């Protein structure tokens, strides 16, 4: 279960993973071999490939917040994103997606600015949320990065 580990494969590679900077875009090589997956899913061990907000939600957020956005309750809970007033302004969801919150990991190194904006805007305008005004922009996301 330990995520942290054996990255010797990168020993001879440049060091993007150690910097806070955006990792480079996926190479063409990483796109090969995805015949059995949806067009942009499962493309890399370090980056998400989906560009569309709904696809990003389905691939990432739905794991905890559930496909219907209603969250889940166990020993702890995943909050519902459906009908969630904290989504009214972009700053909060952009910050949470980038930096995480409590037990939720941040995705700053796994999503680029446009992807973060796309998924935030999708959540703000779906799942019973109707915050279409002042959508998040890649520029806003960039400014919110560490």
Partner 1 sequence: MAEQPGPEQSPSRRALLARIGAVAGGAAMYQAMTALGVAAESAYAGPVKLEGDARGASVLVLGAGVAGMVAAMELRKAGYRVQVLEYSDRPGGRCWSLRGGDRYTELGGETQTVGFDHGLYFNPGPWRIPYNHHAVLDYCKRLGVALEPFVQVNHNAMVHGRNAFGGKPQRYRTINADYQGGIAELLAKATKQGKLDEAVGKQDQEILLESLRAWGALNTDMTYAKSVLTSDRRGFDRDPGGGLTARPVPSEPVAIKDVLSSRLWSYLVTGSLYEFQTTMFQPVGGMDMIAKAMAREVDGLIRYNAKVTEIRQDDRGVTVTLRDAQGAGGAEQVRADWCVCTIPLSILSQIEMNVGAPMAAAIRAVPYAASVKVGLQFKRRFWEQDEHIYGGISYTDLPIRMISYPSTAYGTPGKGVLLGAYAFGPYAYEFTALPAAERVKRALEWGAALHPQYKDEFDGGVSVGWHRVPGALGCNGAWTDAKRDEHYDNLCALDGRIVLAGEHASYIPAWQEGAILSSLDAISRLHRRVVSA
Minimum distance, C-beta of residue 118 to partner 1, in the bound complex (Å): 16
Residue 111 CA neighbour count, 13 Å, CB half: 34
Using CB under 8 A, pick the residue from 59, 117, 118, 123 that binds partner 1.
Answer: 59
Residue 69 has a CB neighbour count (10 Å cut-off) of 20
In 3D space, the residue among 108, 118, 119 whose CA is nearest the CA of residue 65 turns out to be 119
Q: Least distance to partner 1 from the beta carbon of 34, Å?
A: 9
Q: Which stretch binds partner 1 (CB under 8 A): 70-78, 89-97, 123-131, 134-142?
A: 70-78
Contacts of 2 (CB under 8 A, 6+ apart): none
Give the one residue of 24, 45, 85, 132 binding partner 1; rule: CB under 8 A.
45
**130 belongs to the binding site for partner 1 (CB under 8 A):** no
Could you give phi then psi for residue 86, rounded to 5 degrees? -70, -10
Q: Does 86 bind partner 1 (CB under 8 A)?
A: no
Considering only CA atoms, which of 45, 49, 33 is closest in space to residue 9?
45
Contacting residues toward partner 1, per CB under 8 A: 1-12, 15, 17-18, 29-30, 32-33, 36-37, 41-42, 44-48, 58-64, 66-67, 72-78, 100, 102-106, 109-110
């Amino acid at each position: 279960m330990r995520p942290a580990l054996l990255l010797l494969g990168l020993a001879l590679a440049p060091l993007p993973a150690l910097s806070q900077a955006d990792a480079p875009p996926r190479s063409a090589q990483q796109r090969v071999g995805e015949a059995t997956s949806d067009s942009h899913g499962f493309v890399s061990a370090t980056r998400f490939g989906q560009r569309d907000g709904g696809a990003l939600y389905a691939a990432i957020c739905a794991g905890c917040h559930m496909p219907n956005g209603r969250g889940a309750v166990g020993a702890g809970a995943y909050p519902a994103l459906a009908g969630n007033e904290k989504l009214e302004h972009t700053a909060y969801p952009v910050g949470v997606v980038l930096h995480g919150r409590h037990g939720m990991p941040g995705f700053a190194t796994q999503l680029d600015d446009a992807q973060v904006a796309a998924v935030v805007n999708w959540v703000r305008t779906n799942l019973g949320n109707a915050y279409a005004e002042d959508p998040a922009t890649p520029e806003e996301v960039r400014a919110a990065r560490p």
